[in-house]
Amino acid sequence: MPVIIDTEKCGKIENCPGEGLCIKLCEEDALIEEDGDVVIISENCNDCELCIMNCPNQAISKVD
């Protein structure tokens, strides 16, 4: 089940206290930076939930 990013909570990488920590933690390259935003590559996501557990803005969650 892929994740979703609440763009309002995320606030772009430049405003992230973790400086894009989710991208740094993702070993599957499911999260990438594109024009300062975090973008999800759903087919690469393996449901490890590291990004959800470590997002300082609580902007990442599972798709219902």
pLDDT in tens, 8-40: 999 889 989 999 999 999 999 999 999 999 999
Across the range 37-44, mean pLDDT stands at 94
Nearest to 5 by CA among 50, 53, 48, 58: 58
Per mean pLDDT, which range of 1-5, 27-31, 42-46, 56-60 is the poorest? 1-5
Domain boundaries, the chain: 3-62
Nearest to 33 by CA among 9, 10, 56, 58: 10
**pTM to 2 decimals?**
0.87
- The pLDDT of residue 63 is above 90: no
Tell me yes or no: is domain 3-62 CATH 3.30.70.20: yes
- According to the model, what pLDDT value does residue 55 have? 96
